[in-house]
Chain A
Amino acid sequence: MDSDHRVGDLVRQLVHHLQNTSSSNPNPEDVNYAIRILSSRMTPPSQAADEANSIKSRLAKQSKLSHALTFADLYSKFASQTGPGSVINKQSLLYLLKVISEDRVTNPHPKSRTDSCYSLLKNGGVLNIVRDPNNTVVRDFARLVSEESDVLEKDLVSDVLSVCEGIHGKYVKFDEMLDSYVLSESIKVSKGMRIMVLKLCELGWLFRKVNRYVCDDIGENVGKSFRVGLQDEVVEYRKLLTVLQSQSLNLSLRRLAVWFVEPMVKMRRMALLVDSCKDLKGGALAGEIHLHAQHGDPLLHEFMKLLLLKVSSPVFEMVRSWVMQGNLQDLHSEFFVSEQSVKPELLWKEGYQINYLMLPSFISKSLATRVLRTGKSINFLKVCCEDHSWADLAPSRGLGYGETNALESLVTEAEKRIDKHLMHAIFNRYKFKDHCLAIKRFILLGQGDFVQYLMEIVGPVLAEPAKTISLIHLSGLVEKAILSSGAQYDDRDILDRIKVKMMPRGVKDRGWDVFHLDYDIRVPLNTVFTESVMGSYLRVFSFLWKIRRVEHAVLGAWKTMKPNLISCHFFTNYPKAVGLQIVSTSRKCQLLWDKMNNFVMSLQAYIMFEVLEVTWAKFCNEMEASKDLDDLIAAHEKYLVTIVEKSLLGETSEALYKALLMLFDVILRFTSVADRLYEFRTRNTTTSKTKDAKTSKSKGLETDSWLNEGRKAVTQRAGEFLSIIGQDLDAVSKEYSSVLKGFISQLPTQRHVDLKFLMFRLDFTEFYYKLAA
C-alpha cells in the first residue's frame, strides 16, 4: 500500500514534470493515463545483463568515442556505489536511459507537422518506418507534395494520353503559334511535373505531323504504299495508347515516360521520313526512304525494312511488268522509264528514256539501262516486228525489297531471252545481213560487173542536162544493168529495193551530178538504217560513182590510144612532118595518160581494198558478236563512220576532197582532149580509106574538105591542129601535176592512219615526195 501510494505520488510528480505546465497539479486524467500505461506492462522485458556495455558500444558506433570513454568512466564510478542511497536497479535504470535516449533520437520534440517531415529529412532522409507502425510519415510526405498542385497526377496522365492520340486534353492544349503543346501557366503544377508533361507531349506533336501526312490522300502508287506503311505503324501505336489508357489509374508520369520510349523513337523516325519525303513521289520517294534505312540500330532497321518492303513493292511490280511484258502503266510518272510516242523508226532511239530523277537508289544505273533495253526490245518486237511469240516462259515470282539480287537475276534472264529473240528476228526474219551486203554491193559499188555495164549504158544519158533526163528511163536502164550482171540471180526482194534517186536539179547540172542509187529500207530495219545513215551512204555513193566515172573515162581514152591498124595506116598517108608531130603529141598524150591512170587505179584500189573490204570484214565480225540491238546499231555506225573518214569525206579531209575533185576535173578534160586527137586521127584515116575505095566518085564528104587541098595546106592545118592539141595537153599536164603535188603533200598531214596507205600506194617510189622537196 505504501509503495503503491508512493508510486502514485511519484507518477503524479513525473507527469507534472514531463508536462511542463505552470499549474502545480497535474491533470488527474493524465495521471490515470500514465498509471494505465504503467500497469499494462507488468512483465519486465528481457534485459541484457550488461546494459552498460551495450550503451558503450552504441556510443562508439555513433562515433562519439569521447562520450563513450566518459560514460565508461561514470558507469564505473556509478557501479561502485553501493550501500544506502544508491540505485538498486542499476541495470533497469540504464535500460530506461537507453530507451529514452533512443526514443529521443528518433522522435525529437515536435513543433509542427511539416517540421516533423523536414526534420525527418534532415537526418539524411532515412526514415525509420519500422518504428512507425501506421505508415504516417509516407502519407505525410504524399500529402505534402500533392498540396503543391491543383491537378491530380492521374488527370495529367490521361491528358497526355489523349494528346498523344491527337485529341485535346483538358489541361494540355495545342498552341498554333508556338507549334507545340502547352500546359497553361494558370494551372498550378509543380515544375518537375510540368517539364515531364511537356516532354511526353513531344510524342503527341510528332504523331500529329505523321498523321497529317498519312491522311493526305494524294493518289499515286508509291506514295500510297508509303502512307499505308505509316498507317500500319499508327494503328499499332494507337493500340498501345488504348492499353495505356485503360491502365491509366495505375500510371504515374514517370511510368508513362518509360512506356513511351520505344514509340517515341519510332515516331521520331517516321516524322523525319515524312519531312524529307514531303514533295517526292515514285522512285525518288523509294530511294529517299532507302537512304534513311541505312541505320545500324537493329530495331530501327527492322522497322525501316518493313516500311521499305511496302514502299518498294509498286516499283518492283512496275519493273517486273516492264521487263516481262513491256507494259508501262504509269499514270503518275513514277517509274524511271518514261515513254514518248514517236514514229516506229524512232522507237528504238527516242521512244523510251530513263528518268534519272525517279531512279531509286537501290537500283544501280547499269541495271536501269538493262531494264530499259529489255523493255524497249519487247516493245520494238511488238510494234516494229509485230512479233508476239516472246511472251512465253516468264516466271511470275513476287519480288520484295532487299531482293535486289533477285531483281537483277530476273532482269538478266529476261534480257537474255528477249535479246536472243530480237536478234533472231532481225537476222533471220528480216535478213539484216543480206540487206547490209546488198547495200555494199549496189550502193557502195561492190558488184563490179553491174557497175561496169551500168556505166556504159547510163554514161551517154547522163551527159545531157539534168532536166531532160527522166527517172523512168534511168530506172529502166538500171534494171537492165542488174539483169545482165551476176546479180540477176539474187533475191527479188532485194533487187526490188534498188531505186534511182534524183537529187534536186539546178539549171547547169548535168545528169552526172544528180544521179544516185538508193536502197529502200523498211520497218524495222530503218531503226539501224535511219535517214541520216542513208544520207551518209548516199554521199559515199556519189564519191565512188565519181571515181568510177573517171576510171571509165580513162579506160575509154586508152582504147583510143592503143596502137592499132587504123593508126598505123594513118602514118602512111601523111607527110612525114605531120607524122612526127602526131607521134610527139601522141607520146605526150600517152605519158600523161599513164600518170593519170596510175593515180586513178591506185585510188580505186585503195578505196576498194583498204577501205571497203576491211571495214566490211570488221563489221561482219562485230555483227556476229553483237548481243542486242544497241550493239548492232553501234557497230554499224562505226562501220559507216570509218568508211566516210577513210574515203576523205570526213570533215578533217575537206581540203583533200576538194583537191581530189579538181583532179577529177582535170582528168576529164584530158580525156576530152585525147578524144579530139583520136577523132582527128580516125577521121583522117577513115576518109583516106574511103577515098581509096571510091576514087572516082568522091562527091566530097563535107567534113574533110580541107584534105582535098594541097599537101602543104594539109600539113599546115594538121600542124596547127596538132599544136593546139599539144598546147592543151601541156596545160592539162601542168595543172594535173600541180594539183597532184598539192594533194600528195597534204596527205601526210591527215590524222587518219590509213590515209598513209593511200600515200604509199600513190607514191611508193617517193617520186612525188622528191619532186615536192
Chain B
Amino acid sequence: MDQDAARTARESLELVFQMSNILDTGLDRQTLSVLIALCDLGVNPEALAAVVKEFRRDPPITSSTPSSN
C-alpha cells in the first residue's frame, strides 16, 4: 500500500508539475512538493502565493547581508 501511495503521490506530483508548467509558474518539483504539503496541511493558498511572490521579487530587506553562514 505504501508503494501505491508513493506511486500515486509521484503521479500526482508529476501531473501538478505539468499543470504548473502550462501555467508557467516557474516552480520546480521540490518547491511544488513543499507547497502541496503545506496546502494539504490547510495553509491558506493566498498566503502561500504571497510568500512565493515576496521571496521571488527581490530579496527581503532583512537579508541585505549575504548569508555567510
Residues of chain A at the chain B interface (Cβ within 8 Å): 3, 6-7, 10-11, 13-15, 17-19, 21, 23, 25, 27, 29-30, 33-34, 37-45, 55, 59, 64, 67, 70-71, 74-75, 77-78, 81, 83-89, 92-101, 103-105, 107, 109-110
Q: Given contacts A3-B41, A74-B15, list 10 more A-B pairs with CB under 8 A.
A: A7-B38, A14-B35, A38-B47, A70-B22, A84-B4, A86-B8, A94-B19, A96-B45, A100-B25, A101-B25
Residue pair A75, B19 in contact (C-beta under 8 Å): yes
Residue pair B34, A78 in contact (C-beta under 8 Å): no
In the complex, the chain A residue whose C-beta lies closest to that of B8 is A85
Q: Which 5 A-B pairs have the closest CB atoms?
A: A85-B5, A85-B9, A101-B23, A85-B8, A96-B45
Residue pair A74, B18 in contact (C-beta under 8 Å): yes
In the bound complex, residues from chain B placing their C-beta under 8 Å from that of A103 are 49, 52-53
The complex places the Cα of A33 from the Cα of B45 at a distance, in Å, of 17
Residue pair A15, B55 in contact (C-beta under 8 Å): yes
Residue pair A89, B39 in contact (C-beta under 8 Å): yes
Residue pair A33, B60 in contact (C-beta under 8 Å): yes
Q: A23-B69, A101-B24, A103-B49 are in contact. Are A30 and B42 (CB under 8 A)?
A: no
Residue pair B62, A33 in contact (C-beta under 8 Å): yes
The complex places the Cα of A85 from the Cα of B36 at a distance, in Å, of 11
Q: Chain B nearest CB: distance from A58 CB in Å?
A: 9
In the bound complex, residues from chain B placing their C-beta under 8 Å from that of A10 are 34, 37-38, 41
In the bound complex, residues from chain B placing their C-beta under 8 Å from that of A27 are 62-63, 67
In the complex, the chain A residue whose C-beta lies closest to that of B69 is A23
Residue pair B56, A59 in contact (C-beta under 8 Å): no
Residue pair A71, B44 in contact (C-beta under 8 Å): no
Residues of chain B at the chain A interface (Cβ within 8 Å): 1, 4-12, 15-16, 18-20, 22-28, 30-31, 34-60, 62-63, 67, 69
Q: Chain B nearest CB: distance from A35 CB in Å?
A: 9
The complex places the Cα of A39 from the Cα of B38 at a distance, in Å, of 13
Q: A34-B55, A105-B24 are in contact. Are A99 and B63 (CB under 8 A)?
A: no
The complex places the Cα of A333 from the Cα of B22 at a distance, in Å, of 94
The complex places the Cα of A98 from the Cα of B54 at a distance, in Å, of 16
In the bound complex, residues from chain A placing their C-beta under 8 Å from that of B31 are 14, 17-18
In the complex, the chain B residue whose C-beta lies closest to that of A45 is B46
Q: Which of A7, A81, A86 contacts B43 (CB 8 A)?
A: A7
In the complex, 8 of the A-B residue pairs with CB atoms within 8 angstroms, ordered by the A residue number, are A7-B43, A13-B34, A19-B63, A41-B47, A78-B12, A86-B8, A99-B45, A103-B49
The complex places the Cα of A43 from the Cα of B42 at a distance, in Å, of 11
In the bound complex, residues from chain B placing their C-beta under 8 Å from that of A75 are 15, 19
Quick one: which of B4, B8, B34, B41 has the most chain A CB within 10 A? Answer: B34
Q: Chain A nearest CB: distance from B1 CB in Å?
A: 7
The complex places the Cα of A103 from the Cα of B20 at a distance, in Å, of 13
Q: A45-B44, A96-B39, A98-B23 are in contact. Are A17 and B34 (CB under 8 A)?
A: yes
In the bound complex, residues from chain A placing their C-beta under 8 Å from that of B38 are 7, 10-11, 14
Q: Chain A nearest CB: distance from B27 CB in Å?
A: 7
Q: A19-B59, A37-B54, A84-B4 are in contact. Are A77 and B44 (CB under 8 A)?
A: no
In the complex, the chain B residue whose C-beta lies closest to that of A38 is B47
Q: A17-B30, A17-B31 are in contact. Are A85 and B55 (CB under 8 A)?
A: no
In the bound complex, residues from chain A placing their C-beta under 8 Å from that of B42 are 89
In the bound complex, residues from chain A placing their C-beta under 8 Å from that of B45 are 44-45, 89, 92-93, 95-96, 99
Quick one: which of B25, B26, B54 has the most chain A CB within 10 A? Answer: B25
In the bound complex, residues from chain A placing their C-beta under 8 Å from that of B15 are 74-75, 77-78, 81
Q: Chain A nearest CB: distance from B26 CB in Å?
A: 6
The complex places the Cα of A67 from the Cα of B58 at a distance, in Å, of 30
The complex places the Cα of A679 from the Cα of B7 at a distance, in Å, of 184
The complex places the Cα of A560 from the Cα of B69 at a distance, in Å, of 174
In the complex, the chain B residue whose C-beta lies closest to that of A47 is B45
Q: Which of A18, A25, A34, A97 contacts B25 (CB 8 A)?
A: A97
The complex places the Cα of A115 from the Cα of B66 at a distance, in Å, of 23
In the bound complex, residues from chain B placing their C-beta under 8 Å from that of A30 are 55, 60, 62-63
In the bound complex, residues from chain A placing their C-beta under 8 Å from that of B22 are 59, 64, 67, 70-71, 74
Residue pair B36, A87 in contact (C-beta under 8 Å): yes
Q: Chain A nearest CB: distance from B42 CB in Å?
A: 7
Residue pair A87, B16 in contact (C-beta under 8 Å): yes
Residue pair B46, A84 in contact (C-beta under 8 Å): no
Q: A14-B51, A37-B47 are in contact. Are A78 and B59 (CB under 8 A)?
A: no
Residue pair A99, B58 in contact (C-beta under 8 Å): no
Q: Which of B6, B12, B34 contacts A14 (CB 8 A)?
A: B34
In the complex, the chain B residue whose C-beta lies closest to that of A43 is B44
Q: Chain A nearest CB: distance from B14 CB in Å?
A: 9
The complex places the Cα of A101 from the Cα of B35 at a distance, in Å, of 14
In the bound complex, residues from chain B placing their C-beta under 8 Å from that of A43 are 44
In the complex, the chain A residue whose C-beta lies closest to that of B65 is A27
Quick one: which of B19, B30, B60 has the most chain A CB within 10 A? Answer: B19
Q: A27-B62, A37-B54, A85-B7 are in contact. Are A55 and B43 (CB under 8 A)?
A: no
Q: Chain A nearest CB: distance from B9 CB in Å?
A: 4
The complex places the Cα of A41 from the Cα of B46 at a distance, in Å, of 8
Q: Chain A nearest CB: distance from B15 CB in Å?
A: 4
